[in-house]
Structure 1
Amino acid sequence: MRVLQIHLPVAREPAHIRAALAPLQAIEPQLLLVFFAAERLADGAFTALLAEVFPGALRIGCSTAGEIVGEEVCEGSIVVTAVHFDATTVREVTTELACMADSGAAGERLAAQLPGEGLRAVLVFAQGVAINGSALVAGMSRQLPPGVAVSGGLAGDGGAFSRTWVLSSQGVAEHRVVAVGLYGQALRVGHGSFGGWEPFGPARKVTRCENNVLYELDGEPALDIYKRYLGEYARDLPASGLLFPFSMADKDRSSVGLIRTILGVDEASGSLILAGEIDPDGYLKLMHANPNALVDGAQRAAEMARAMVPGEALAILVSCVGRKLVLGGRVDEEVEAVADVFGRNCTLTGFYSYGEISPFNAAPGAVGPDSCRLHNQTMTITLLTEV
């Protein structure tokens, strides 16, 4: 497997972009991963150029809340990572997302297009605003054979939560979901995911919810309780919700290791719109974080993935925009922590997202459709290599 990468930090004329892309042609890539600021690809000119320069390659990716290239976190840029597989084949599938309620069915439609024989892993990217990410993953899991790892993430638009974009070989679209199936026994896949957030306050019982909309906690409107905890931060909702996600807990009030971010609020119904579904019989506990804990969490995610895949590899990092807000000027540190674990023989790419998709448990033998989840506020890592 060979990997080459370019970074386009500022807008350029087509001739300059063509020249920058030219070195990637040398490895004859079958797959291009493209992560970009929303404003950079909205007009379609860049994607048309990609199609012209790489007509034989699959071209997938999404808009971001920050691009990851090497050990840096960038904004307003484009990162293109070209991958040539020696013994792995790739197949792209897409579907249109009609509305949030269509998320589960969209996942089923997407996965049903991927032949099961020889399928080792799936990379998926979806729009990040009007979607139920956990339902999307569940729908895919219902259609995929056992042992297939699903990873990827939901697109961002810099933190505006307004319009996000997905890139497929058909071009850029606002309501598309794209996936690439990776086939072949030579492929090795590693995964790691970790948060670093700390719970505070009591665990509160979910007393009314519907899919990813939380109406009541302990019999009170969820928004009222949430505002009391946030205090002065409540005036900045929903944006400030990224700083105070929920930890999901089971009936025994023990954490299940999944975090849910607040995407929106409904003042009329007193409800919170979460990035993924919650357990209607479970509990939720508020969380907060400090930069050191988040950096340590990124390092632990890297150690999980590295334990599964040693040696040279491509590392796809999908981290949450909420982590980026907490880290602020230290945001590069969590990517640097990952790079320190992997060393110089790994190429790092990825983005800051509105939802991360990764196996829930990265232990060997536990990676499969049932273990794949939508994460929030988490650093997730996918390592790919061939043997």
Structure 2
Amino acid sequence: MRTISHLGVEEQTTETLIYDLATGWSKSFPNLDSENTLVAVFAAHEYCDSPEPLAELRNAFPQSKIIGCSTPVVVCDGALLEGAISVGIIRFKHTQIRLSYTSVQAFEESRTAGQYLGQQLADDDLKGVLIFADGVTTEATDLVQGLQEMLPPDVTIAGGLASGHTLDDTWMLCDGELKRFHACAVGFVGHTVELTRATGGGWRLIGTECKATRTSGRTLFELDGEPAKDVYHRQVGSNVGFGLRESSTRYPLTVRLPSLEMQIVRDVNSVDEESGAIELAGDIPEGVMVQVMTTTEDEILDGVDEAIERMRSKTILPQKNALAVCVSCAGRRTVLLEKTSEEAALAYDGLGHGIHQIGMYAFGEISTTSSGPPHVHNETLTIGLIREY
């Protein structure tokens, strides 16, 4: 682990950059490289095959901690961009940054991978962890469980799962290097650093609450003793009149976890017509209560206001020198369509234009909850605000 030097650093400084194939970098690289600089990168999946701009970034920030991942579209200071790279830079004065990454080749390795990351980042003065993982091979619930097992319970955790146009398009940026099937995290260590997180949804319940009577991992076999497909199709059809193919993107499930007095959302990925099982975008414990949800474009955008209000309830929003990392679910784009750009703009306006913002659309969002433990969500907007105070 490298030791952070603070010589010559007058104050925390933030900056954002954009790279586009047609125009190149939006500005010259700022002189912010140091061992206490975080460079967070979201990039379109095609840069895995054309990594030259990522190499330029790495060469410009050789001492900095560089992490990030792929995503179909990126966000930068309120703008939604396709085929681009969004870069957020934050240089600290008093905060130490620790970086760790590890391979995750299969779901079964996820918890061990999380434990490894936690061991590398653990410190008595650790205040927060920003984590990204490959959405193909990682069971994110197990990953964050393993991570938290190694950390104090009050450490804030936020992040998301890399995404692409298909599951095969995902990749990670670990200490500036392109890698597949990995998880990467940075920890913020110090007495004056803050990682504040907030989430927003914009979904409403429909149908009747049912009990998940048979599950395994991400597979929901039965609801109230019936094939899950039959119950789901009946509730969606009776309330909205859509077929199953259309409903799976606009009608996710909310899962109520009684032990934590909270709910998490799960996207419907696929349905087995023969067995009646539903494959979800995240794990679902057996015995939990499940209910169908729906939304509209305007309600999804209301979820941005919800996230901003929750952020304001947790901290006084700074006027400058903070970096907001926004992770929204890829499924929200399916609902918003041409209004997707409004989500990024609303978040930027709500936080204040003095706060630099980068963002991505993910296969899952990771966030510490109001109940304490971090969880993996679908169909939410998660904002992580990083700053020194």
TM (normalized to structure 2)?
0.88
Q: Distance in 1 between matches of 2:138 and 2:219?
A: 12
Paired residue for 2:215? 209
Q: CA deviation at 1:249?
A: 2.4
Amino acid at match of 1:9: D
Query: Which residue type is aligned with residue 93 of structure 2?
Result: D
Q: What residue in structure 2 maps to residue 83 of structure 1?
A: 90
Matches for 1:336-351 after TM superposition, within 5 Å? 336-351=345-360
Matched residue SS, 1:24: coil
C-alpha distance in structure 2 between counterparts of 1:8 and 1:46, whole Å: 8
Among residues 368, 373, 376, which one is paired with 2:375 in the alignment? 373
Task: Provide closer, same or farther for how the CA distance between residues 44 and 326 of structure 1 changes in structure 2, counting only shifts above 3 A.
Answer: same
The match for 1:385 is 387
Tell me by how many angstroms 1:315 deviates: 1.0
Correspondence for 1:156 among 152, 155, 163: 163
User: Would you say 1:41 and 2:26 are equivalent positions?
Assistant: no
d(CA) in 1 for partners of 2:199, 2:299: 14
> For the residues of structure 1 that align with 2:244 and 2:317, how far apart are their CA atoms?
47
Cα offsets for 1:149-205 (capped at 9, x unmatched): 1100001103x3333111111511120100001111111222211211011111111
Is the Cα–Cα contact under 8 Å of residues 317 and 350 in structure 1 kept in the other structure?
A: yes
Deviation at 1:279, TM superposition (A): 2.9
- In the alignment, the residues of structure 2 paired with residue 206 and residue 142 of structure 1 have an alpha-carbon distance, to the nearest angstrom, of 27
The partner residue of 2:79 within 46, 62, 72 is 72
Q: Distance in 2 between matches of 1:74 and 1:276?
A: 27
Q: CA deviation at 1:267?
A: 4.4
In the TM superposition, residue 276 of structure 1 has moved relative to its aligned partner by: 2.0
**Residues 1:89 and 1:223: Cα distance change in structure 2 (over 3 Å):** same
1:379 Cα deviation after fit: 0.8
Cα distance change of structure 1 residues 255 and 297 upon mapping to structure 2, 3 Å threshold: farther
In 2, the alpha carbon distance for the partners of 1:118 and 1:178 equals: 20
Look up the match of 1:108: 115
One-letter amino acid matched to 1:282: V
Query: Distance in 1 between the 2:99 and 2:264 partners?
Result: 29
2:284 paired residue among 272, 278, 281: 278
Contact 2:201 2:306 in 1 (8 A): no
Q: Deviations over 1:329-367 (max 9, x none)?
A: 111222222222222211111111110011211xxxx6x
Asked if 1:99 is matched to 2:101, the reply is no
Corresponding residue of 2:150: 143
Query: Corresponding residue for 1:292?
Result: 298
Tell whether the 8 Å contact from 1:93 to 1:113 is kept in structure 2 after alignment.
yes
1:130 partner SS: coil
| Contact 1:44–1:171 (CA under 8 A) maintained in structure 2 | no
Give 1:256 shift: 2.8
> Is 1:60–1:168's contact at 8 Å kept on the other side of the alignment?
yes
2:183 aligned partner: 177
Q: 1:106 touches 1:139 (CA, 8 Å); kept in 2?
A: yes
Identity of aligned residues (%): 32
Contiguous gaps of at least 5 residues in structure 2 = 1-11
What amino acid is aligned across from residue 41 of structure 2 in structure 1? V
1:263 aligned to 263, 269, 273, which one? 269
Aligned position for 1:357: 366
Q: Which amino acid aligns with 1:3?
A: T
- Taking the aligned partners of 2:89 and 2:171, their CA distance within structure 1 comes to 20
Q: How far 1:142 moved relative to its partner?
A: 1.1
Is 216-225 or 226-235 further displaced after alignment?
Answer: 226-235
Alpha carbon RMSD of aligned pairs, Å? 2.3
Paired letter, 1:332? S
Equivalent-residue separation in structure 2 for 1:81 and 1:155 (angstroms): 17
Partner of 2:15: 4
Matches within 5 A, 1:244-259: 244-250=251-257, 256-259=262-265
Q: Please, which of 50, 53, 66 is the counterpart of residue 59 of structure 1?
A: 66
Deviation string, structure 1 residues 51-91 (Cα, Å, up to 9, x no partner): 22211111100111321111122221111112111111111
1:318 equivalenced with 2:327 (yes/no):
yes
1:220 is matched with 226
Q: CA deviation at 1:227?
A: 3.9
Q: Is the 8 A contact 1:31 1:83 kept in 2?
A: yes
Q: Deviations over 1:220-256 (max 9, x none)?
A: 222343344455855647xx5232110112569x983
Unaligned runs of 5+ residues in structure 1 are none
Select between 302-311 and 70-79 the one with higher mean Cα deviation: 302-311
Structure 2: how far apart are the matches of 1:125 and 1:145? 20
Paired residue type of 2:354: N
Give the counterpart letter for 1:304 in structure 2. R
